[in-house]
Amino acid sequence: MPNAALASVSLVLADYHNPLHGAHLLQLLDEYARHPMGGGHALTLQAHEQLLGKLAAIPNAFSVLAYCGNQPVGLANCFQGFSTFKCQPLINIHDLVVTESHRGQGVVKLLVNKIEAVARERDCCKITLEVLQGNRSAQQAYRKLGFESYELDPEIGIAMFWEKYL
């Protein structure tokens, strides 16, 4: 996307009670969920019906929507956490998606810059995110924006993200 076209991308902090923001958030998140990097399955009916209300009920959760004109082209769902070592809040980017037609054109940079501005306003010490090992294009974009793998000691190695379903 030429710089002039990128300049036409606007960002908004989503209002979870705004029906248009909600529809766009669910549309973009569903696109991400259906992609192999998002698991390859559509959002559940429960997510479609309950996600916006549940996000609205989480203190310090926020979402950033990117628009090219009236078309939603990007989304970042974020949650404020806390770093015990730094004794300061942090922001975790939980979901980050750019619609296929706008990938590789700088939308991620705009989203991350907005998240960084929010993090600075909240006196956060860092921004964290997860990226799949095979998602080389996302890793490259994140590195350009200053992200790196997390390690306390290179001899011990990088942190790994694990999960346990309940």
Share of the chain above pLDDT 70, in %: 96
In a 3-state reduction of DSSP, which class is residue 76?
strand
Which of 36-40, 64-68, 72-76, 82-86 is predicted with the least confidence, judged by mean pLDDT?
Answer: 36-40
Least confident of 86-90, 102-106, 115-119: 102-106
CB 25 within 8 A of CB 50: no
Q: How far is CA 115 from CA 2, 103, 129, in A?
A: 23, 18, 12
How much is the mean pLDDT over the chain?
A: 93
Mean pLDDT of 147-161: 87
Instruction: Give the CATH architecture of domain 3-130.
Output: 3-Layer(aba) Sandwich (3.40)
Is residue 2 over pLDDT 90?
A: no
**pLDDT confidence band for 1 (50 / 70 / 90):** very low
Residues in the chain: 166
User: How buried is 45 (Cβ within 10 angstroms: 0-12 exposed, 13-18 middle, 19+ buried)?
Assistant: exposed
Flag whether pLDDT at 152 surpasses 90: no
78: number of Cβ within 10 Å: 25
Q: What is the pLDDT of residue 5?
A: 58
Cα→Cα distances 27→4, 19, 31, 156, Å: 26, 12, 6, 41
Lowest mean pLDDT among 17-21, 97-101, 142-146, 154-158: 154-158
Q: Is residue 126 very low, low, confident or very high in pLDDT (cuts 50, 70, 90)? A: very high
pTM: 0.93
